[in-house]
Amino acid sequence: MTTTIKVSDETKQVLDMLQAKVTLTLRKKKTLTELIDSIARLALRHENELLQPDKLPALEKDPAMKPPIDWGVRTDASRIDEYIYTED
CB-based burial label for 15 (10 Å; 0-12, 13-18, 19+): middle
Secondary structure percentages of the chain, helix, strand, coil, to 5? 60, 0, 40
Q: What are phi and psi of 78, to 5 degrees?
A: -70, -15
pLDDT, residue 64, reads 65
pLDDT, residue 88, reads 65
* Structure confidence by residue, pLDDT tens digits, 46-80: 888 878 776 655 656 666 667 777 788 777 778 77
pLDDT, residue 59, reads 57
- Whole-structure pTM over 0.75, yes or no? no
Residue partners of 35: CB distance under 8 A and separation at least 6: 15, 18, 19, 22
pLDDT, residue 12, reads 93
